[in-house]
Amino acid sequence: MASLRLAVDAMSGDHGLRSSIPATVSALNLNSDLHILLVGDKPSITLALAGEKFDSSRLSVQHAPDVVAMDDQPSRTLRTRKSSSMYLALELLRDGQVSAVVSAGNTGALVAMSCVVLKRLPGIKRPAICAPVPALNGYTYLLDLGANIDCDAQQLHQFAQMGSALCRVLDGRAAPRLALLNIGSELTKGTAAVRDAAVRIAADAKLNYCGFVEGGDLFSADVDVVVCDGFAGNVALKVCEGTASFIASQLRARFKKTVYGMLVGFLARPIIAAFQRDINPDRYNGAALLGLKGVVIKAHGGSAALGFQSAIRQAASAVRYDLQVQIEKQLEI
């Protein structure tokens, strides 16, 4: 089997090497066809890898003397961070040395750099960030998650096309059920952009449009892809993650409150463990930046090792299923 080469921005994100290194080692040990090129400060990466067990023939290091900070202004990074791990990783993808890039870094900077280094697909106004969220049917794809705060109807239509293509490719669903996130299901609800987008999407014969859905419908089994602007999508995603953490902590606290609760908690441990595993945001970490001439996966800025490893897995899947080409076909490019 041919080796699958991924570039990992090892330095970016809240935890840097503390998450990217163990995630990389685990990914290599679980996938014999994977080759990872770590991009970052070589001495620090070499030190962090000391004592780790992995196939060293499938790991390379590309030195990058700089790193994009989480609070850097995106426009400024284009001028001042061209020697950063994020920028150099994207150049490796542009030059065909790797098939995808994974980064947990500054979202705005990653979007801006990707548009400059990789370029957008023809006709795409702006790329969109798409990720799965837990739902009754396994998960629902939600986009945009923060790349575009204000979106017009054309952008929302393009997001619908790209999200539908991603769902078909990664999940094998022939006609993914698609909806627009709104404040109600009635046709008169929502902003002018959302209402106009509904008309455009409904008229697109390639899309299986189901109408408007509200926030609570993200978790239902009624839709596969939900489209919204980046402001609403990012808020929705963070609420989902916060709710999952809140429920898990409340369950633990309630079971520890009384002797009876501890007994019930002990008996219910397998069910609780399965529940916590199903709602753990780390399992769904790894958002695809759609609409670019290349595969870029954005890991959550606060990703721990498990979450970062999930993002690497998402990148590998996107490459194996030729996601970019499938999106181009969907857009008739």
Pair 93, 202 in one domain: no
Pair 115, 131 in one domain: no
**Single-letter residue type at 246:** F
Pair 156, 275 in one domain: yes
**Single-letter residue type at 146:** G
**Does a structural domain hold residue 113?**
yes
Pair 206, 177 in one domain: yes
**Does a structural domain hold residue 239?**
yes
Pair 139, 238 in one domain: yes
Whole-number Å distance between alpha carbons of 281 and 287: 12
Q: Which residues, 6 or more positions from 325, have their beta carbon under 8 angstroms from its beta carbon?
A: none
Number of structural domains in the chain: 2
Pair 137, 218 in one domain: yes
> Which residue has better confidence, 25 or 188?
25
Pair 97, 140 in one domain: no
pLDDT score of 74 = 87
Q: What is the pLDDT of residues 246-275, one digit of tens each?
A: 777 777 777 777 876 777 666 666 766 665
Q: How far apart are the first and last CA of the chain?
A: 30
53, 44 contact by CB (below 8 A): no
**Confidence check: pLDDT of 1 > 50:** no
CATH code, domain carrying 250? 3.40.718.10
Pair 43, 117 in one domain: yes
Range of the domain at 26: 1-123+291-321
194, 156 contact by CB (below 8 A): yes
Whole-number Å distance between alpha carbons of 16 and 304: 9
Pair 274, 153 in one domain: yes
Pair 273, 134 in one domain: yes
Backbone angles phi, psi at 209, to 5 degrees: -85, 130
24, 61 contact by CB (below 8 A): no
What's the whole-model pTM score?
0.84
Mean pLDDT of 308-319: 90
Q: At what angle do helices 153-171 and 323-330 cross, to 10 degrees?
A: 130
Specify the range with the lowest mean pLDDT, choosing from 87-91, 266-270, 281-285, 316-320.
Answer: 281-285
Whole-number Å distance between alpha carbons of 179 and 181: 7
Q: What is the pLDDT of residues 30-77, one digit of tens each?
A: 999 999 999 999 999 999 999 889 999 999 999 999 999 988 888 889
